[in-house]
Amino acid sequence: MKEGINVTQHITETTRMLSNKIAIVTGASRGAGKGIAIALGQAGAIVYVTGRSTAKTDSPYGGSIGETAELVTQAGGKGIPVLVDHADDEAVADLFARVKQDYGKLDILVNNASKVADPASGGFWEKPLNVADLITVGLRSHYVSSYHAAPLMIANGKGLIVNTGHYGAVSYYQGPAYGAQKAGGDKMAGDMAKELRPYNVAAVSIWMGGLDTERARAYFATLPEDRIPKQKRESPEFTGRVIAALYESDQRMTLSGRSLIGAELGAVLDVTDIDGSTPLSYRYTMGGPHELHSSLI
């Protein structure tokens, strides 16, 4: 374990570190959210899985909130699927009211819901205007969910809000809407952390690398063999493992407000991917926030 960090429980040593903890993962029908939810379930959490897909046929990439919730339960936690359109403020408010009624508390919120359009060529002015919906479901929706989560966490005396981030916050990736959403998520986490600090509630942004998701696999399947990237991709579960370890780390509040590269935070917390590998940081090719090492914490 790296110097300067004392993780209360190493995630590879137990799968019950989040036993009786309540988590919400938004946008968890597939992709990153699905993997994060499963990993939190493996750690023993009760996970509310939100999204708009109730059947695999709702998306060309498959997946549904029910499927993810079932996998959370199979992993050792308890998955609870909740149909939520995160562009609907009333539906989001109802979600958090249900959590309060069911358990009276919330420990972890992962803001991952997004409305991502498939990659298209050309300048932003040549793409459909609905690409900007990513700023509504993906930035504003993070704010709304955090707005409802904060009182539950404050009453609980401890909490962790995570915005799923990416290198697109500091380098060009998929266009202006994507970059604005990721940069905004980082700034939002930093400012929320400042206001939540007196209540022992942390807020961070965790940057994920290239993920092995259903969408990514479908896209690569359309490329010629010589154009398919050769580097290993992170599993969607890796970020969930990192989140579980951060929640239990005694450095949770020290790191609050930071934008953190998941691969680097995982290395500091001794968290590996599901196959035992150590994901790579792309800081030196795509940019990054302040480096994470013991002198900074």
- Report the catalytic residues: 178
The alpha-helical segments, DSSP class H, found in 124-261 are: 133-135, 141-156, 176-196, 214-220, 236-248, 252-255
Residues 6+ apart with CB under 8 A from 31: 61, 63, 211, 213, 214, 215, 236
Tokens of 217: 């696999």
Residue given tokens 């400042």 in the structure block: 194
Return d(Cα 28, Cα 112) in angstroms, integer.
8
Beta-strand (E) ranges in 31-101? 46-51, 78-83
Half-sphere exposure of 77 (CA within 13 A, CB side): 34
Closest by alpha carbon to 111, among 74, 75, 138?
138
Read off the DSSP letter of residue 135.
H
**Cβ partners under 8 Å of residue 262, min gap 6:** 206, 207, 208, 209, 234, 238, 239, 242, 279
